[in-house]
Structure 1
Amino acid sequence: MTVVAYTLAAVLNVFILFIGMRFLTRPYVAAAGYGVPATTDRAYLEVKGVRDTTFGVVGLVLLVFAGAQAEAWFMLAVALAPLGDTLIVLRNGGTRAVAFGIHLATAVVVLISAALLFAV
């Protein structure tokens, strides 16, 4: 179970780091993938990029240097972000499929990761 817990946490952290970098380098493409396409307000898209990149870096640092318990608490806390993203997509004209299929599903996987890490 330890290998699964650490692997899932590492994959989630690298994935959010990738998403953050995508918002910094290709913000309009990333916004469309997020579920709410944007044609203006690049600065706000870049803010999301910095947020997600930071989550990925902090998660990896915790996993490597602080261990499973610290990473579990981090995952528990950052699950709020995809839950919030679910509401943002729904409130701003995005589809339910994206809101629930991407953002809510991400929150569930992050919470599963937290539970696995707490069990280690």
Structure 2
Amino acid sequence: MALVLAALLGAFLCLIGAAMIWAPGNAVQAFGIDPSHMAADNALMPALGVRDIALGLIVFGLAVARQSRATGAVLLALSLVPVGDFLIAAKSLGATAAVRHLIALPFTLGLGLILLRRST
């Protein structure tokens, strides 16, 4: 079940990345930054989209290949992304408004630890 959840997380990351590439203005707004005064961030969203697609494909591929421990290690490393996104958004929004970026943190940490401790 944990590998299925990891595969779904990988697929979801790919969808988020695709949205950042094809609709960067909407993605900036969904990220929590006002796009009207953040033209530079709007231009960077496709790069973040590629990041999310690459990470999603890694997680998805390892989960489909049934590599529990490797998937867990990647998910633990991936836990840094929501923290980084929170810190970036907090500069623009304040910590209280940016806290939603930490929603994925307990999920990636918990699932990562479960899979890392699993014997293959």
The reply to whether residue 6 of structure 1 matches residue 11 of structure 2 is: no
Q: Residues of 1 paired with 2:44 and 2:72: CA distance?
A: 29
Structure 1, residues 14-67: CA drift from partner, whole Å, max 9, x if none? 111111000001111011111113242343111111101111111111222360
The residue that corresponds to 1:82 in the other structure is 82
Query: Which amino acid in 1 is paired with 2:114?
Result: L
1:12 offset after TM fit, Å?
Answer: 1.3
Aligned equivalents of 2:9, 2:47: Cα separation in 1:
20
Runs of 4 or more consecutive aligned structure 1 residues displaced over 6 Å after TM superposition:
none
**Which whole-Å deviations, capped at 9, do the CAs of 1:59-115 have from their partners, x for residues lacking one?**
111222360100000000011011100111111225624x222x1111111111102
State the TM-score, normalizing by the size of structure 2: 0.86
Aligned counterpart, 2:26: 29
Gaps (5+ residues) in structure 1?
A: none
Distance 1:94 1:19 in 2: 23
**Cα distance, 1:11–1:86 mapped onto 2, change above 3 Å:** same
CA distance in 1, matches of 2:33, 2:43: 15
Identity %: 30
Q: Number of matched residues?
A: 115
Runs of 5+ unmatched residues, structure 2: none
Aligned residue in 1 for 2:103: 105
Contact 1:36 1:94 in 2 (8 A): no
Residue 7 of structure 1 and its aligned partner are, at CA, apart by 2.1
Q: Which amino acid aligns with 2:27?
A: A
Aligned partner letter, 2:85? D
RMSD in angstroms over aligned alpha carbons? 1.7
Alignment match, 2:59: 59
